[in-house]
Chains A and B, each alone.
Chain A
């Protein structure tokens, strides 16, 4: 596959001096921003507790509470974000110059995203889930395929077949996009609820992921491993061996990229 459209400009900027961001009335700090290979940005946010702001720059492991995603465009070397977070960013190696709701220059570290292998070039883009296959065993046996991926529809099917799962807890969890980036980020965006976000590793076809931002649900575990394959141009299959609602399970996503 050809690299995704903004592969050359994909970067991760980790803030040492964290800009503030208001999300649903909650004051947050922007911990990082990633501009991905497929014209998306992923804004990593950490809630500010008790109204206090970090006294010292935190350059260690990110402590994300949530992410905000959207699309970006490029103009004269500047990243222009659209949607929930609107700003213009000029990224240098150790400084991000931001013009937007919060403007200024903020120290941090810029790292270019890399796609070294064929599998990585193929993976680093945005995927739309066409079909989802679920199988659970061990006390309850159920197996089915679904168009798209609606967690509530899947949970209802599993419940109808004897699984102790409450479908109402995953109402609105419909996957709209899944993205893998060259910085090792994995983001699953939903149509009506916040994203699941974390990191992944890909070695050949073998993939392992771990979400640091995830809502409690019975369908997709916080971490799992499996295989990511590309059966045709702009087609991908992600097969995960995981637990679903406490049962041994297999989840397979059949996806396409635009």
Chain B
């Protein structure tokens, strides 16, 4: 049985890298006694795959991991049991059954939502948050978004504009970005911020921003709808009653 788990990774958990997050989940699953399926072979491992690695320093409120289980209790109970095995800052949001034919989360990823907050102690250097993000928004609307991206063979010109699906100032955090993600074209929010700082003559610092990944989406491919339609990965599953 395929299961998709949605979780959040907040607070100090942002310092836990992707591989360690995987290890954390493997151990949490064993503590919880989830009836996970193991691979065959001499050293069996849990059937588990994450949708998209989250960089160290970023928080996430809509992260995904797919697992396969041999049996399962109701979703509500599984969420409760897993939450009892979480460390402070990790929280299970949902536990949903996927159709057997469902593609794994990693292969589906097409876009991610981010919110970006400017740390108050950096406002001296980068300007007041409201002004900074207004500037960013205007830049993303009409600035030159061609960048040189380093590749294995050297450098390649890349236009970020078609890869930034949405952008707007956000009252609560600072700004909201919906960016292309996944194997086709993966754009990190840091790259967008750095490009803006460079163009605006502001000193970019990777520590100036607290970035939260809010949601991970798949692209709706069926039908002949013209516009893009993104579906949260969670929507592919259903609660187990």
Instruction: Please indicate whether A and B come from the same complex rather than being unrelated chains.
Output: no
